[in-house]
Structure 1
């Protein structure tokens, strides 16, 4: 796992924060982030490169917080991407988000099936298939697109493809930079935590006033 390695691109130290870096750290509304930097490792890593970090935050906010897809479909996408590209960081964070929007632990585990045999609803299966097809062939197939088009409008279909690409890109960066997990109790791909606790719901940035407390920091 990437959090067991020294990071190739480390979080920006507090003493090296500049105002542009602080803008990157404080973007998500995390308490004291302007003064101290973010407690979220990926954000503190992006603060190493403020011009990139600022546009990454704006771009990522659309997919995480303003996506035209329903939360269920968004989280199924991210879980499938995380499994396919073996992103421990995205898996750990989005298991909690998925639970929070009603996805069961059984369904989360089924996002790892290869081939997929779980009894998904047609639209959920098409979502997962689109992840696989884009990763394997670089294009959503005509049969899968036809199914998706029964359930989603053009904006949602555009968000679907770009969401997959965004989380693949982010996962590649996390893995290549060796960005570690913040939590001392990481959720593994086996859905077991280091402490043996059952994974629970977590909140996204700004979703609740105490969103940071659900994430273990």
Structure 2
């Protein structure tokens, strides 16, 4: 795995250039004072350089964050697996905490990372979800065998969401890497080895709006 980017290729837009459209991007997720001061999230501020794209991306991403037909556990399994396959330290760092909040253990997270190796045994459905990530990324399709397994337990709309969920996080990870977006400087970065920068054990974090103190709990 490559190291976390430490230099922006696209920097935050200078405050004197901000328009209402810029501020709408920065305040999309409801961070306190974000209209006046901007977001504290690196990727949001980088995307604010291009408000039409950023708002389309934000609405698409919001659907997969809080409006999709899959369970939150399924969502986090997908994002963690995609982060490993496309080498996205930023998404990995953020979603380890989200996964823990959904009851996914560090042992399970390591098994998602190492799939199909490791001691943990996933259900047929979850193994097929993890496999679908690799099949789409590496082969541009889902195999008939994996599709048949998924059809046993997922509805048609859920299977459609699964494919687009995988694609959404591949696309976002490409942007993070290509734009050189680093993990926020104040964050206790979680590596692919599940060790934090400070040496602390990774813990729970919350998605935007999921708790009243989600800003404080995210750690930057």
Instruction: Give the TM-score category using the shorter length.
Output: over 0.9
2: distance between equivalents of 1:203 and 1:31? 16
1: distance between equivalents of 2:68 and 2:36? 30
1:181 corresponds in structure 2 to: 183
Q: Note the C-alpha offset of 1:95.
A: 0.1
1:203 corresponds in structure 2 to: 206
1:106 corresponds in structure 2 to: 107
What aligned pairs does 1:50-69 form with structure 2 within 5 A after superposition? Answer: 50-69=51-70
1:24 corresponds in structure 2 to: 25
1: distance between equivalents of 2:99 and 2:144? 28
Q: State yes or no: 1:134 paired with 2:130.
A: no
2: distance between equivalents of 1:42 and 1:148? 33
Give TM-score, length-normalised by structure 2.
Answer: 0.95
Contact 1:130 1:140 in 2 (8 A): yes
Contact 1:2 1:178 in 2 (8 A): no
2:73 corresponds in structure 1 to: 72
Superposed CA deviations along residues 97-153 of structure 1, whole A, max 9, x for unmatched, are 000000000000111215445311111100000001001110011110111011110
RMSD (Å) for aligned C-alpha atoms: 1.1
2: distance between equivalents of 1:114 and 1:159? 22
Give TM-score, length-normalised by structure 1.
Answer: 0.96
2: distance between equivalents of 1:138 and 1:169? 14
1:38 corresponds in structure 2 to: 39
Superposed CA deviations along residues 159-201 of structure 1, whole A, max 9, x for unmatched, are 0000000000000110010101114310000000011000000
Contact 2:79 2:169 in 1 (8 A): yes
1: distance between equivalents of 2:187 and 2:40? 13
Contact 2:48 2:54 in 1 (8 A): yes
1:216 corresponds in structure 2 to: 219
1:158 corresponds in structure 2 to: 160
Q: Which runs of 5+ in 2 are unaligned?
A: none
2: distance between equivalents of 1:155 and 1:187? 33
Contact 1:72 1:103 in 2 (8 A): yes
